[in-house]
């Protein structure tokens, strides 16, 4: 009987602790969420486009970073939270191709595999981090290298549902060429979870002369090197068309 009472008391203590922990968690959320909302106010909203080339890395091309480029392009929207951090959402089109005959490898020479017209469509959400501030208030040296990382979904032929995700990561250089115009140059690689970008896999093609066609334990990559142009719009919460200007500039114009 004493053991039952002791167990019930322990349960009451556990429930009380859980209730207090829940209250503290809710209190923390009530404090943190408004702060996050305030910190996440958008300074700019940008819309732009980019053109470039798409490249493939996999069983056909295992060594060359910039191999068999094909035209690619897309459009994007970007939210600038401060002049170091921004979030970018893009729709991209690219094409991948590769040929064993491009490589001086005896195995690839005998295999003789090739693929082309492998069109891909991608939707990505990435974060940009500028090492230096790039903002409309500065007239000189308004340039910065930046890094990119995020997540994306892409679609090509013969993909399973769990293979559509990839992780973009890359480097770029950004130039503020006008108050509301940015020019960027970047190269972003995509880590995928499929071995089918080259339309070749051992389970589908089998073996040739007792040798494996593809390497099952390695996944394919693709990259896009591009030049983009974006146009910056005012903060939606600011109705003043001169909010970018400094106080001394306003006094000088009176």
Q: CA-to-CA distance for 91 and 50, rounded, in angstroms?
A: 10
Residue 175 and residue 233 share a domain = yes
Which secondary structure element, helix H or strand E, spans residue 206, and what is its range? none
Read off the pLDDT of residues 164-203 as tens digits, 9 standing for 90 and up: 999 999 999 999 988 889 999 999 999 999 888 888 765 4
Look at residue 17 in the predicted model and tell me its pLDDT.
40
Residue 247 and residue 232 share a domain = yes
Half-sphere exposure of 105 (CA within 13 A, CB side): 15
Read off the pLDDT of residues 65-116 as tens digits, 9 standing for 90 and up: 899 999 999 999 999 988 899 999 999 999 999 998 899 888 888 888 888 8
pLDDT grade for 253, boundaries at 50, 70 and 90: low
Tokens in use for 208? Answer: 């040739």
- Give which of 151, 148, 146 is closest to 124, Cα–Cα: 151
Looking up residue 92, the CATH number of its domain turns out to be 2.40.160.20
Q: CA-to-CA distance for 214 and 202, rounded, in angstroms?
A: 5
Residue 189 and residue 116 share a domain = yes
Residue 182 and residue 117 share a domain = yes
Residue 88 and residue 32 share a domain = no
Strands (DSSP E) along 81-196, which ranges?
85-99, 114-130, 143-155, 165-178, 181-192
Read off the pLDDT of residues 13-60 as tens digits, 9 standing for 90 and up: 433 444 444 445 444 444 444 444 444 566 789 999 999 999 999 889
pTM here? 0.72
Residue 184 and residue 129 share a domain = yes
Residue 245 and residue 213 share a domain = yes
Residue 35 and residue 87 share a domain = no
Burial 111-146 (b: 16+ CB within 10 A, else e): bebebeebebebebebebebeeebbbeeeeebebeb
Residue 121 and residue 59 share a domain = yes
Read off the pLDDT of residues 129-163 as tens digits, 9 standing for 90 and up: 999 988 877 767 789 999 999 999 999 887 888 88
Residue 225 and residue 134 share a domain = yes
Print the domain residue range for 226.
Answer: 43-253
pLDDT grade for 239, boundaries at 50, 70 and 90: very low
The rounded percent of the chain whose pLDDT value lies above 70 is 68
What is the tally of structural domains in the chain?
2
Residue 90 and residue 22 share a domain = no
Separation in Å, CA 168 to CA 46, 159, 191, 219: 20, 18, 7, 14
Look at residue 215 in the predicted model and tell me its pLDDT.
63
How high is the mean pLDDT of the chain?
78
Residue 33 and residue 47 share a domain = no
């Amino acid at each position: 009987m004493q053991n039952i009472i002791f167990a019930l008391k322990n349960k009451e203590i556990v429930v009380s602790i859980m209730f207090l922990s829940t209250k503290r968690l809710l209190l923390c959320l009530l404090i943190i969420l408004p702060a996050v909302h305030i910190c996440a106010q958008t300074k700019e909203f940008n819309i732009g486009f980019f053109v470039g080339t798409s490249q493939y890395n996999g069983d056909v091309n295992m060594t060359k970073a910039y191999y068999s480029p094909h035209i690619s392009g897309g459009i994007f929207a970007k939210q600038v939270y401060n002049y170091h951090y921004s979030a970018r959402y893009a729709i991209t089109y690219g094409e991948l191709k590769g040929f064993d005959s491009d490589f001086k490898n005896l195995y690839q020479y005998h295999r003789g595999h090739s693929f082309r017209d492998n069109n891909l469509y991608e939707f990505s959400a990435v974060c940009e981090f500028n090492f230096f501030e790039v903002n409309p208030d500065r007239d000189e040296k308004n340039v910065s290298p930046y890094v990119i990382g995020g997540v994306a979904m892409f679609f090509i032929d013969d993909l399973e549902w769990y293979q559509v995700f990839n992780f973009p990561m890359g480097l770029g250089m950004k130039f503020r060429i006008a108050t509301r115009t940015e020019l960027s140059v970047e190269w972003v690689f995509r880590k995928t979870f499929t071995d089918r970008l080259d339309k070749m896999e051992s389970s589908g093609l089998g073996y040739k002369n007792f040798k494996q066609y593809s390497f099952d334990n390695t996944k394919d990559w693709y990259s896009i090197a591009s030049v983009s142009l974006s146009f910056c719009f005012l903060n939606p919460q600011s109705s003043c068309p001169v909010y970018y200007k400094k106080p001394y500039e306003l006094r000088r114009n009176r």
